[in-house]
């Protein structure tokens, strides 16, 4: 049997979004690599509070305005560990991509955003998201086993009859996350179960990528307009249309729209497969994106990188 990892030549790096955080998520790597705490110190200075302490405090870590900069700093710290190792082996990534929040990590890794600007942006993004749904009962859920069009139809019917709900993440064939009001999401869950399929409520504090985020998206666009962006050093596939933008205005527009429109992750993975990528490295806590890659693109090997034993596999490439 061919070892996909050992034979990898064309690499992409993926950056995870919310849901990948865990208390103490960077402790093991921080003991071995000074760059981890250095990265968090740099981020903390920009934010005006100790971001490393956030990673040790469950109550703060799971609030979206803290989750987002903590995950971004963690991802960039790991990027700073692995990117020199890849370069030494002549394995420069051909593409970067990030799931939802992870798109900001990808842009920072590509040099579009400084780390300081990136963590400040996502901290404010988290606050805008929370403010957009103050006083609302909201929810997200993963619907499994239905076609994208079927899930979209269930959301449309529920929105018309019960409460606002939209497809939020097209994660892989047969896995679509929906987001909206609690009534709307519950109606979609019930309808999916009536079709003999599974729908799982998710533990999130804010419903991302749905029309409830329209006001947050508009406010975010104003923040993005005031932030310095630079042309990407490595192409970044953005969530909004699973496209690579080179115009700074287009990059910012896609980021703003992403907040209230669905993440096109399945199309992103299709794009990587069509580009004959043979290895994706998940650069951040957890292995959510590695598992999605294995489900969708069997020709692409996937390696997470958040533990020492996982880094050893990358070093062995």
Question: Do 153 and 80 form a contact (C-beta atoms < 8 A)?
Answer: no
Residue 209 catalytic?
A: yes
CA pseudo-torsion sign 85, 89, 90, 96: negative
Q: Which of 75, 123, 159, 209 is catalytic?
A: 209
CA pseudo-torsion sign 170, 111, 39, 32: positive
State residue 145 phi and psi, 5-degree precision: 95, 5
Helices (runs of H) and strands (runs of E) counted in the chain: 14, 10
Sheet of 165-172, strands arranged across: 165-172, 175-181, 138-144, 198-202
Q: Which of 83, 100, 217, 305 is catalytic?
A: 100
Structure tokens at 168: 């939020």
Question: How many other CB atoms are there within 10 angstroms of residue 177's CB atom?
Answer: 27
Residue 186 catalytic?
A: no
C-alpha–C-alpha distance, residues 281 and 299, integer Å: 14
Question: Do 121 and 227 form a contact (C-beta atoms < 8 A)?
Answer: yes
Q: Which residues are catalytic?
A: 100, 209
């Amino acid at each position: 049997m061919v070892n996909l990892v050992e034979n990898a030549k064309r690499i992409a790096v993926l950056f995870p979004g919310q849901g990948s955080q865990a208390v103490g998520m960077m402790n093991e790597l921080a003991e071995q690599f000074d760059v981890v705490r250095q990265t968090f110190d740099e981020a903390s200075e920009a934010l005006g509070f100790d971001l490393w302490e956030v990673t040790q405090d469950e109550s703060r870590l799971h609030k979206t305005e803290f989750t987002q900069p903590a995950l971004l700093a963690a991802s960039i710290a790991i990027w700073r560990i692995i990117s020199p190792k890849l370069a030494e082996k002549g394995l420069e990534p051909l593409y970067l991509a990030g799931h939802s929040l992870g798109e900001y990590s990808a842009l920072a890794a590509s040099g579009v955003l400084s780390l300081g600007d990136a963590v400040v942006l996502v901290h404010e993004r988290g606050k805008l998201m929370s403010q957009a749904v103050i006083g609302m009962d909201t929810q997200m859920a993963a619907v499994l086993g239905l076609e994208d069009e079927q899930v979209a139809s269930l959301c449309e019917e529920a929105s018309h009859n019960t409460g606002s709900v939209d497809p939020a993440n097209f994660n892989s064939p047969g896995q679509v996350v929906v987001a909206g009001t609690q009534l709307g999401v519950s109606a979609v869950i019930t309808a999916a179960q009536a079709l003999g399929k599974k729908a799982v409520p998710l533990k999130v504090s804010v419903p991302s990528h749905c029309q409830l985020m329209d006001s947050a998206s508009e406010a975010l666009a104003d923040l993005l307009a005031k932030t310095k962006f630079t042309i990407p050093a490595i192409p970044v596939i953005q969530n909004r249309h699973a496209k690579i933008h080179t115009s700074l205005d287009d990059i910012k527009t896609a980021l703003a729209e992403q907040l209230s429109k669905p993440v096109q992750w399945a199309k992103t993975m299709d794009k990587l497969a069509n580009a004959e990528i043979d290895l994706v490295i998940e650069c951040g806590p957890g292995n959510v994106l590695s598992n999605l890659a294995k489900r969708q693109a069997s020709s692409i090997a996937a390696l997470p990188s958040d533990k020492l034993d996982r880094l050893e596999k990358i070093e062995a490439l």
